[in-house]
Structure 1
Amino acid sequence: MTPAELSRTVLATVRRAVEADELSLAGPVPERVVVRRPPRPGCGDYATNVALQLAPLTGVAPLTVADVISRRLAAAPGIARVDVAAPGFLNITLQGDSHGALVDLVRAQGSRYGIGEHPVALAPPPTGEPRADAYAAALRRLHAATGVEPPARRPHPVRQTRDELLRTLGADATAWALLRPPAEDAPRTDPAAHLPQREANPLFLVRYAHARSRALLRGARDLGLAPGPAAGSPEPAEAELLGLIADFPRTVEAAARHGAPDRVARLLEHTADASLRCHDACPALPKGEEKPSAVHGARLALADAAGTVLANGLTLLGISAPRHL
């Protein structure tokens, strides 16, 4: 279950509670409900403040609203448990098979996961200012991916010309340098910040994590091992990575809605970090005399899904995702 699907489930639960007169609202049901990863471990897979949002419309305490919603939401398909936390948050734990279903969804959709095919208007003529043109191209890709037309943004310009940036950084590092900072921040265009082949360089980290996921699949084929279905509950490192994979479509939509491609870049950095930590904590390939098992197949499928998210996010930013580095 993705955050977008869970958001729709929570919203449908609120509507059913209103229809059943369990909640009385002095106004319409909100059109959107936000669900997010909880700020610390042990608080479920997702959290929502919908009860706090609705309390002023009901005239009762947020905890009372949360209790009403939690009872109904806990019975929804794909949800294992809903806990209420003060002052009115709902902490939602998904059923174990929801994680496997998410990985299956990402692997089935491949390059389409989080990226739709919506028509957009013809591209405006270039302005000649490298960052403004890079932003315009990225916002068009976000528009095409989500159908949401981003607001016009005025990014902080750079002093170099596009040709100068391409000569010193190359196309991929130029795109990253111009799109990674928020629009109002001045971008760093120093080659020392974007070209070193080490994990301290965020662009290299993201592309390395993608290439490593593809290397795992090649290594598995050599061992006669293939990605397989989920095997048991995810380990903490796997759960963290699964949450980021699930967040990708919502992040892409938010990036389009706010005209902020830097949101995609930040998610890619977090996903790359989590992917590499997951590889260390939960190896996808057997070691030494260890025999391949269903656990290895499940971990390979997760690595494949993570690589797909990294590739799709880089594509949205106009950056290549090589399989070999």
Structure 2
Amino acid sequence: MTPAELSRTVLRSVRGAVEARELVLAEGALPERVEVAPPPHDGCGDYATNVALRLAKDVGAPPREVAGVVAKRLARVPGIAAVDVAGPGFLNITLGGDAPAALVREVLAAGTAYGRRGRLPENASPGADLTSPPVDLRPAPGPRAAAVADALRAIMEAAGEGARPGGEAVRPVPVKDTAGGYVTAEELLARLGRDEMRWVLLYPAAHDHVRVPERPVQREGNPRFLVQYAYARTCAVLRNAHDLGVLPAGVDEAAAEQAVVARTGAGAATGPVDGGAAVPYTSLHAALAAYPAVLEAAARLRAPDRLARHLEVTADAVLRFLASCPPLPAGEQKPMAVHRARLAVAQAAGTVLANGLTLLGVSAPEHL
């Protein structure tokens, strides 16, 4: 269950409670959408929502009482394992046991099309410039406006938005170096290289100034490097799994073999695909599930920085997942179902990182 699906599920539960007169709400007071997000602390379920706090005043009841009514309905929904009322009236929602595996299967089945609503150009590869069919955006002078317009064409096409006759102007924001002088695209490219240049121009929000580094920094403190490094780590894990003859779980054997071959260029590993071991819902699952909504918001708000920042969050979650849930057996340990399940999560994470980097026009290197 994705965050968008869960949001609609919560809203349906609220509507059901109103229709059953379990909650008395004036006409027009029902919200059109409900915010759900991963909780700020571990041990508080997979998602949290403050819908009861928002409704309490209109209902005329304490937030915890409203939360209790909604919680009872939510707990009966297939795919939701538990709903707890916390604090002043927050709802902490734990998804059912198959939710993590179902999400991974969805990502792996969609592949490069995951999160997209538009048509994927043929023979697209990580780092490709996806701008066909073009969205008519008119970049203002300057390297940042040009980069934003280029990225938005790809993002809006992926989100299913067509051409816009007459075009939309991209806000011109001058780019200055640390000395305060204006910098051209040619100077940025020579100093930073294409990947770092595009990331530096796309990562800040529209109202923020660009901070141009003296040179690319190849460490995890650099968000661009962090994202590319996390993607390369998923590729390395899958290469090592291939050498051990371990296939990811969650997809059929043929698809898994094709994925290994595509990434390694070598012959496919053999062995049964076993999805019997469950991997708990983690912050990485939450980031993967949120990717389609982030992509839609980036297109709707004309904000490629939203996609860049979500990739940073996803990359951080990838590295924490690989450290806490090793996808490969250690030492003399034999490959088990749980390793295959974790490998599938790593493969899904690599898919999302590559998809996002591609839309930003930044390469997704398999080796760093």
Report the Cα offset of residue 181 of structure 1: 1.4
SS state of the match for residue 83, structure 1?
A: strand
Q: What is residue 215 of structure 1 aligned with on the other side?
A: 236
Measured at CA, do residues 98 and 122 of structure 1 come closer, stay the same or move farther in structure 2, by a change above 3 Å? Answer: closer
SS state of the match for residue 35, structure 1?
A: coil
Report the Cα offset of residue 171 of structure 1: 1.9
Q: TM (normalized to structure 2)? A: 0.81
Deviations 1:103-137 (A, max 9, x none): 11111111111222079774234433111122222
Report the Cα offset of residue 182 of structure 1: 1.5
- Whether 1:312 and 2:355 are equivalent positions in the alignment is yes
Distance 2:231 2:211 in 1: 24
Q: What is residue 259 of structure 2 aligned with on the other side?
A: none
Q: What is residue 234 of structure 1 aligned with on the other side?
A: 279
Residues 117-128 of structure 1 aligned to structure 2 (within 5 Å): 117=118, 122-128=135-141
Q: What is residue 219 of structure 2 aligned with on the other side?
A: 198
Report the Cα offset of residue 36 of structure 1: 0.6
Residues 122-161 of structure 1 aligned to structure 2 (within 5 Å): 122-147=135-160, 154=171, 156-158=173-175, 159-161=182-184
Contact kept? 2:135, 2:153, Cα under 8 Å: no
Amino acid at match of 1:282: C
Measured at CA, do residues 257 and 52 of structure 1 come closer, stay the same or move farther in structure 2, by a change above 3 Å? Answer: farther
Amino acid at match of 1:137: D
Residues 1-325 of structure 1 aligned to structure 2 (within 5 Å): 1-28=1-28, 29-117=30-118, 122-147=135-160, 154=171, 156-158=173-175, 159-192=182-215, 195-229=216-250, 230-234=275-279, 239-325=282-368
Superposition CA RMSD, Å: 2.3
Contact kept? 1:106, 1:113, Cα under 8 Å: yes
Contact kept? 1:286, 1:292, Cα under 8 Å: yes
Distance 1:144 1:191 in 2: 33
Distance 1:91 1:152 in 2: 42
Identity of aligned residues (%): 57
Report the Cα offset of residue 233 of structure 1: 4.8
Q: Which segment drifts farther, 175-184 or 20-29? A: 20-29
Q: Which runs of 5+ in 1 are unaligned?
A: none
Measured at CA, do residues 148 and 45 of structure 1 come closer, stay the same or move farther in structure 2, by a change above 3 Å? Answer: farther
Deviations 1:38-63 (A, max 9, x none): 11111110001111222232222222
Measured at CA, do residues 155 and 250 of structure 1 come closer, stay the same or move farther in structure 2, by a change above 3 Å? Answer: farther
Q: Which runs of 5+ in 2 are unaligned?
A: 120-131, 176-181, 251-274
Q: TM (normalized to structure 1)? A: 0.91
